[in-house]
Structure 1
Amino acid sequence: MNDPVLALSGVTKTYNKGLPGAVEVLRGAELSIAPGEVVALVAPSGAGKSTLLHIAGLLDTPDEGAVRICGRDMTGMSDRKRTAARREDIGFIYQFHHLLPEFTALENVVLPQLANGVNRGEAVTRAADLLARVGVGGRADHRPAALSGGEQQRVAFCRALANEPALLLADEPTGNLDPGTADHVFETLMELVRATGMAALIATHNMELAARMDRVLRMDNGVLTEG
């Protein structure tokens, strides 16, 4: 049996620990996501879903508990190794695309590959293929300011997938789009995830979108529950 792509066990996180007004954000979070599985994370604003995603994506560390990526225990790993794991194994998509405004759509998808040691020719070929698959191949030479919101977010998806990550983490990836565009962008995202077999954890307030994923996790008062 394959190892889970992402596994959290007993993860806790408290901000301002030991001080007045300490906030217990995660209380023994348990989570396992298999290859090819798409899991929705539903939680009210301020419930800690972004903290969970940051810990899962190795951008933050838990106070207690373990984080395993592709079977490797990341607990206590050096910053250098955590950075390498983020670059090689994890793709991030946020509500706001955070594309580099001075570069074209194609260049925004090429740059992460160059940082990962891919030669430029291969990086350009892969970037062009990804952009074509999400329907913005004809906009490859446009900078973000010349793209619609939906086009920008599709470019952001391509950037997140550029290095073929095992794990995709998305924080409200369609929350800044109108319903029609959000639905189209979500379908594009699901097609890409299914085609690659990666695991995905997608935080969303949209219950209709959540219901179209394989499982729904809810976070309430720092505790994860299924259903």
Structure 2
Amino acid sequence: MSDPVLSLKGIEKIYNRGKEAEIAVLRGVDLDLARGEIVALVAPSGAGKSTLLHIAGLLDTADAGQVSIGGEVMTGLGDRRRTIARRRDVGFVYQFHHLLPEFSALENIVLPQLADGAARSEANARAQELLTHVGVGPRAGHRPSAMSGGEQQRVAFCRALANRPRLLLADEPTGNLDPETSDQVFATLLGLVRDTGLSALIATHNLELAARMDRVLRLEHGRLVPG
């Protein structure tokens, strides 16, 4: 069996509030995410979903435990190596699109590719291909302010996949949209992930959306349990 794309072993995270108060948000989280698998992460607000995603995506460090991506142990790596791994191996999608307002949809997808050393012509072609794939190709030259919320989030999906990561982490990716748009945009995200063979860990409050994924995990009292 090949190595899981994402492996979390014994992840713990404790926040200190005041001189004596400690809050254990994660209490020994274990997770193996297989290649091509889409897993829903369900938990109430404040339970630690975002913290877990940030640790998995190397944006934060755990107080204990080990993070591996593609079979490579990431725990203990220096900042430069972690930055490279984030840029090449991990794609992020958030509840709000966080697109750069002064750039067009196409440019928002081109920029992370240029940062990773891609030629502009290749980056432009990749960006246009992704935008077309999610149905907003004709909007490539528009800035975010001229696009609907659903269109902006589709662009954010494309940006997350621009550098062909092996892992997608999404934190309430449709939570800022109305129910009808949310359903449409989520279907786009699932199709994009399936078509590219990505592995994905997607945090959501929406149990109907969670049920459309391969597996549902619930974060309870700092540990993952089957949903």
Same fold (TM over 0.5): yes
State the SS of the aligned residue for 1:22: strand
Unaligned runs of 5+ in 2: none
State the SS of the aligned residue for 2:21: coil
Which residue of structure 2 aligns with residue 208 of structure 1? 208
Q: How does 1:116-131 map to 2 (within 5 A)?
A: 116-131=116-131
Amino acid at match of 1:9: K
Amino acid at match of 1:163: N
Which residue of structure 2 aligns with residue 88 of structure 1? 88
- The TM-score with structure 1 as length reference comes to 0.98
State the SS of the aligned residue for 1:87: helix
Q: How far did residue 19 of structure 1 move?
A: 3.5
Amino acid at match of 2:78: S
- Distance (Å, rounded) in 2 between the aligned partners of 1:35 and 1:17: 38
Which residue of structure 2 aligns with residue 217 of structure 1? 217
- The TM-score with structure 2 as length reference comes to 0.98
- Distance (Å, rounded) in 2 between the aligned partners of 1:140 and 1:203: 28
Q: How does 1:185-196 map to 2 (within 5 A)?
A: 185-196=185-196
Q: How far did residue 153 of structure 1 move?
A: 0.1
Unaligned runs of 5+ in 1: none
| Counterparts in 2 of 1:17 and 1:64: CA distance versus 1, 3 Å | farther
| Counterparts in 2 of 1:9 and 1:118: CA distance versus 1, 3 Å | same
Q: How far did residue 18 of structure 1 move?
A: 8.9
Deviation per CA, 1:88-125: give whole Å up to 9, x if none: 00000000000000000000000000001110000000
| Pair 1:184-2:190 in alignment | no
Amino acid at match of 1:91: G
State the SS of the aligned residue for 2:213: coil
Between the aligned residues of both structures, percent identity stands at 70
Q: How far did residue 33 of structure 1 move?
A: 0.3
Q: How does 1:54-133 map to 2 (within 5 A)?
A: 54-133=54-133
Which residue of structure 2 aligns with residue 45 of structure 1? 45
Q: Which 4+ residue blocks in structure 1 deviate beyond 6 angstroms?
A: none
- What is the CA RMSD across the aligned residues, in angstroms? 1.0
Which residue of structure 1 aligns with residue 162 of structure 2? 162
Deviation per CA, 1:142-201: give whole Å up to 9, x if none: 000000000000000000000010000000000000111111111111111111111000
Which residue of structure 2 aligns with residue 5 of structure 1? 5
Amino acid at match of 2:224: L
Amino acid at match of 1:174: T
Amino acid at match of 1:135: G
Q: How far did residue 21 of structure 1 move?
A: 1.9
- Distance (Å, rounded) in 1 between the aligned partners of 2:107 and 2:19: 46
Amino acid at match of 2:145: A
